[in-house]
Amino acid sequence: MSSLFSSRPRPGLQSDRLSHPLSRRRFVEGLALGTAALSLGLPRFSLAQSSVAPPYPSVPEMHGPHQELVVGEQHVNFTGQVRTAITVNGSLPAPVLRFREGEAFRFTVRNTLSEDTSIHWHGFVLPAAMDGVPGFSFHGIAPGESYHYEFPVKQSGTYWYHSHSAMQEARGLYGAIIIEPREPEPFQYDRDHVVLLSDWSDEDPHRILAKLKSQSSYYNQHPRTVADFFRDVKAKGWSAAYADRKMWGEMRMTPTDLADVSAATYTYLVNGATPASNWTGLFKPGEKVRLRFINAASMTYFDIRIPGLKMTVVAADGQYVEPVEIDEFRLAVAETLDVIVEPREGAYTIFAQSMDRSGYARATLATAAGLSAAVPALDPRPLLSMADMGHDMDGMEGMDMEAQKHPASENNPGVDMQAMMPMARLDDPGIGLRDEDRAGEGRKVLTYADLRSAFPDPDGREPVRDIELHLTGHMERYVWSFDGIPFASAEPVRLKYGERVRLILVNDTMMTHPIHLHGMWSDLEDEDGNFLVRKHTISMPPGTRRTYRVTADALGRWAYHCHLLMHMDGGMFREVRVEA
């Protein structure tokens, strides 16, 4: 909970961190060995005692549809502390699965854990019983048991897979999926690399959630202080500074609340490697290189750039888009983005800083192993404004407040936030990425408005009805919901098989949420209601209202949720039921 004036350190926070043997820089960057031995499939051990040194083996790949995936445990050491991770076939991240469009997907998952597990194939169109969400059309995989996944592959592109059980995703159970297309692709490249981003904590994810419920700002190490207040007074006067601070206090937030969980506990990884490990993808001069970015993090949005290289976006969430040249992009949790780069001689840093600027993941493109380039400094930490929160007081003058009434279900103790003026803001790069945040550097940042599918609306029909849902929460209690109703108390969203509907999402909270609907595509609309781009995950910044069309072409019970793990577990989850 934020107060009108905050100070540091906070009770109960400093003692945990002082006991950690690593310096702050070492903790953020991680050990140089990363997960080298995991890729070798070696037994449990401390990597700090290993003699393996970079360049280390790549994440293993599995080709073809007839495979077994064994979920188990293994020791890892990213920070100087040995911890137990959940692995697949002895690897963290799990092996890259490669196969072709049109093949039958046949994988048997064997559980060697002492708890239930599951695997969800993120973004796949498949039968409900194959989707891998326990409690819906699937019971989960009990210890010692196996489950056979089998379905036809009706798509191509870059996707990923992860557990949907017991927060195992945060402990390492995630991996990339690459589906080669049946038809030639509309662009050319010479080689491709998977760049799978994630966040690792030595803390158990359930302990992280417990801390957030006790103190929602626990991992925010940069609250606004009394000194900041007097700097604001000097800049804009006492009345304005006090009114601004009072408003943030009433919302129980500070302008630095950009992420619930930060590098105070996270080490950021690329393909299972820490920044110090420096995972390296090779190229030859003159080659076009396809980079398949996947955000498999539990709670972290990444802002990604490659200094010295332009990137041409060619696919989003596995689907082709009209090419667009950019310098940087923000990747929401669960999103994927394919870009093509044309590196020359030497080395280039792939730099992925967390949205709250508390840390970064780092990798390298190089012509030879062992080469590296300079790592940029983290950008300045941006401050949220009232406009970022959907509270643009100037824009609210003369506005019809009756039109802004929210569902009655929101008037309950589980909701402490409400956006008064939500807008689509599809062309907004986001906090920390705007020109004013860049001091005139002029880097082109991708926005949703830049993304256009390389095909027309695949359905073509107008929606027969609208379904409006508000993303809601209570920061002090750290509870999350749709329409103020947590999952445990919510009725399913019911769709009739074959109908075309419009989903309207309004983010009343002060946090950014990546919303994922299982089993069906989400066709994002522009502000005039025209088809813009097909996705499986829609990012919802604070104070936004965004719409997308869904064709209910998959019978069964489907999950619909925020993909920030702590928000999903905290109640921002619904069932969508498609019925005949």
Exposed/middle/buried for 52, CB within 10 Å: 0-12, 13-18, 19+? middle
Kindly state whether residues 41 and 158 are assigned to the same domain.
yes
Kindly state whether residues 239 and 350 are assigned to the same domain.
yes
pLDDT digits (tens, 9 = 90+) for 552-575: 999 999 999 999 999 999 999 999
Q: What tokens appear for 229 in the block?
A: 């207040």
Kindly state whether residues 125 and 247 are assigned to the same domain.
no
Kindly state whether residues 235 and 126 are assigned to the same domain.
no
Q: Which residues of the chain have pLDDT under 50?
A: 1-24, 26-27, 34-56, 229, 395-397, 399-403, 405, 408
Q: What tokens appear for 211 in the block?
A: 């801390």
Kindly state whether residues 508 and 367 are assigned to the same domain.
no
What is the pLDDT at residue 402?
46
Prediction pTM value: 0.88
For 121, the domain range is 31-182
Kindly state whether residues 456 and 566 are assigned to the same domain.
yes
Kindly state whether residues 535 and 387 are assigned to the same domain.
yes
What is the pLDDT at residue 410?
55
CB-based contacts of 317, cutoff 8 Å, min separation 6: 123, 157, 335, 336, 337, 534, 535, 536, 537
Kindly state whether residues 418 and 559 are assigned to the same domain.
yes
Residue position matching structure tokens 């490249």: 189
CA distance 504 to 536: 15
Reading across the β-sheet that carries 347-354, which strands appear in turn?
279-282, 360-366, 347-354, 302-305, 328-331
CA distance 351 to 380: 15
The DSSP 8-state label assigned to residue 530 in this structure reads: -
Count how many domains the chain has: 3
C-alpha distance from residue 492 to each of 403, 547, 559, 572 (Å):
26, 19, 10, 13
Kindly state whether residues 138 and 200 are assigned to the same domain.
no
Using an 8 Å Cβ cutoff, are 296 and 160 in contact? yes
Kindly state whether residues 236 and 106 are assigned to the same domain.
no
What is the pLDDT at residue 44?
30
Kindly state whether residues 175 and 220 are assigned to the same domain.
no
CA distance 37 to 524: 42
Tell me the angle at which helices 226-236 and 238-250 cross, rounded to the nearest 10 degrees: 140
Triad 109, 114, 116: Cα angle to 5°: 50
φ/ψ bin of 406: left (φ > 0), alpha (ψ from -120 to 50), beta (otherwise): beta
Q: What is the CATH number of the domain that holds 81?
A: 2.60.40.420
CA distance 159 to 148: 20
Kindly state whether residues 229 and 370 are assigned to the same domain.
yes
Collapsed DSSP state (helix, strand, coil) of residue 110: strand
CA distance 545 to 428: 13
Residue position matching structure tokens 């009805």: 465
The DSSP 8-state label assigned to residue 250 in this structure reads: H
Boundary of a domain, candidates 352, 381, 410: 381
